Amino acid sequence: MPKLRKIASIERGIEEILQALTEQEIKETIGKGASYLRKCSDPDRDSEGKDSEGVRRNIDHFESIKLDKKCIQKGISPPLLTAHQFMIDQEKSNNQSNLIDVNKMLVKFSILEGELNKVYLDATDPKSPDGEKITGLEKKKIFEAIKLIEDKILKIKLAIDKNK
């Protein structure tokens, strides 16, 4: 039976890397195989033991960056960066006394999605500054709209996770 990993964990991010990248892609990226990552994603190991059964494997920060970059090259959201962001946002939410209702967040998400669609459609409109080609400024606006949506998704996840 597969081990469950917390949503807000590096182990979960590594598990997503294992699903996104092939053995060969992992080896080419960090010089180590999928078995190394499986060991790093094991949530049950303790950090106190010294034998192979008790050691918790930690992924090197530079390796995690390389793996996230490889995912981005494949058009996949960076799982380890997302895990880090989720953990930081979770900590922020622990220090906030009131979370907005999930329904309100979903409404805001819909508004943000509409804004992203508008920015994209305006950028690819034949009457835009560079016609159907997206300019650097238009890309910046699109990425900003996407970032707002990503932030909202994280807030929704945090609110749902907090309601266990």
- Calculate mean pLDDT across residues 49-60: 64
Helix/strand/coil for 127:
coil
Cα angle 61, 63, 67 (rounded to 5 degrees) comes to: 120
Q: Which residue has tokens 């699903």?
A: 19
- The answer to pTM > 0.75 is no
- Percent of the chain at pLDDT > 90 equals 41
* Neighbour count for residue 128 (Cβ, 10 Å): 15
Q: Is the pLDDT confidence value at 51 over 80?
A: no
Query: Domain coordinates of the chain in residue numbers?
Result: 1-78, 98-164
105-161 per-position pLDDT tens digit: 888 889 999 999 999 999 999 988 788 899 988 999 999 999 999 988 888 887 777
Residue 97 has pLDDT above 50, yes or no: no
